Amino acid sequence: MSCTVAISNSPAFSPSRVSSSLFCKSSISTSSPETRSLTHSPTSSPSSPLRLRLQKPPSGLNRASTDVVSSSSSSPSSSSSPTLLKRKRPTRLDIPIGSLSFCGPATLSEAAEELRRKVVEVETDGYSVYCKRGRREAMEDRYSAVVNLQGDPKQAFFGIFDGHGGAKAAEFASKHLDKNILDELERRDENEIEEAVKYGYLNTDTEFLKDDQRGGSCCVTALVRKGNLVVSNAGDCRAVMSRGGIAEALTSDHRPSREDEKDRIETSGGYVDCCHGVWRIQGSLAVSRGIGDRHLKKWVIAEPETKILRIKPEFEFLILASDGLWDKVGNQEAVDIARPLCIGIDKPEPLSACKKLADLSVSRGSSDDTSVMLIQLGRYC
């Protein structure tokens, strides 16, 4: 749409004259369907100080204007009054609700059903697990529990895996990490257990990336072997032990805000910044270690930190949990809530303790998936 304005040659341009020429009189010229002009002229003067000319309106409007002209020419009485065009409401479409389906077939595979399950709970001799889905459509947390490892009731492997960017990395790690660690243990001496765990994590990461999968997962694992408790983590999943009622954190969260992690990332060419109160790598991920995360692999490493303890009678139980719990519940608070349900009673209720912790986190505003595993250490002394 073009607009041309012609100003009179008067040395003084009077505002009163402008207003009178603008609003005194208007006429529409319809001599050509291709050009429409709107001219305002005062009744007292043949030459208007202000003239607006509209050229070539959009095709839709042009067609409507032509219809107005044709109707105007056919009816003399209509030329004196403007014609108003009303848009007609389109015909209503009736779409059957039953035809809208986002879940695919009526029968889902067991894996798909598990993804959509809001709560997972397991209670068995020696450990209990409670996983509660947050606001995501599908649960991204996974867990692993292998008891009677290599036929020995005093050996076991446990893990909590917190996926991000999907559940594929958590699913993969929960199925392969224990096997990869055991493979490394068979190649090494017993005093190299920390190295075996390290390469078990790294090999799992390498295998996952070979499949060209997206997403990543934080991990916390506990290996009980020959009287030792071997606890490892990569990411912000955490292990907290009750030692005679006193909470003892056995892992340290891997976050970009940690000074040593920040230095490592920046030394390797990355950057760490704070976005809305959360420290992130490259403005993206809020954890600095984990399985997967191909696009950030240069800075998000899979190497775990490991702590090895000889199991003692005062070691009561171990809590492995995702950050869905630890972001809202403190270490000592978690132990204080779980202990009365696990220690000093005839019938321990560790699953109830896991539920109580997860529900407390949700009641405090957590919208993340929350997974809690409680392991009774007394049976492994």
User: Can you read off the two tokens belonging to residue 127?
Assistant: 């450990």
Residues 235-268 as b or e (16 or more Cβ within 10 Å = b): bbbbbbbbeeeebbebbebbbbebeebbebbeee
Placement of tokens 């912790």 in the chain: 357
CA-wise closest residue to 53 among 79, 83, 32, 69: 32
For the chain, where do the domains classified as CATH 3.60.40.10 start and end?
Answer: 116-254+289-380
Q: Where are the alpha helices (DSSP H) in the chain?
A: 15-23, 59-74, 110-116, 168-187, 193-210, 259-267, 323-326, 331-338, 350-363
pLDDT at position 107: 52
Q: What does DSSP assign to residue 89?
A: P
CA dist 224 to 2, 7, 152, 259, Å? 81, 93, 10, 31
- Is the CB of residue 256 less than 8 Å from the CB of residue 277? no
> Residue 221: which residues within 8 A CB-CB, separation 6 or more?
144, 157, 158, 159, 177, 178, 181, 197, 231, 232, 233, 304, 320
Closest Cα to residue 19, out of 47, 46, 48? 48
Whose CA is closest to 345, among 323, 317, 309, 367? 317
CA-based nearest residue to 330, from 258, 240, 261: 240
CB 343, CB 113: distance < 8 Å: no
pLDDT tens for residues 336-357?
999 999 999 999 999 999 999 9
Q: Residue 38's pLDDT is what?
A: 42
Token representation of residue 71:
């109707």
Q: How many CB atoms lie within 10 A of CB 351?
A: 19
Q: Are 352 and 204 within 8 A, CB to CB?
A: no
User: What CA–CA distance (Å, rounded) separates 139 from 166?
Assistant: 9
DSSP lists the bridge partners of residue 371 as 131
Sort residue 15 into left (φ over 0), alpha (ψ -120 to 50) or beta: alpha
Q: 372 by DSSP, 3-state: which?
A: strand
CATH code: domain 116-254+289-380 is: 3.60.40.10
Q: What is the pLDDT of residue 12?
A: 44
pTM greater than the 0.85 cutoff: no
Per-residue pLDDT of the chain (381 residues; tens, 9 = 90+): 444 444 444 444 444 444 444 443 444 444 444 444 444 444 444 444 444 445 555 544 444 444 444 444 444 444 445 566 666 666 665 544 433 333 334 455 665 555 557 899 999 989 999 999 999 888 999 999 999 998 999 999 999 999 999 999 999 999 999 999 999 999 998 889 999 999 999 999 999 999 888 899 999 999 999 999 999 999 999 999 999 999 999 999 999 999 999 999 999 999 999 988 899 999 999 999 999 999 999 999 999 999 999 999 999 999 999 999 999 999 999 999 999 999 999 999 999 999 999 999 999 999 999 999 999 999 998
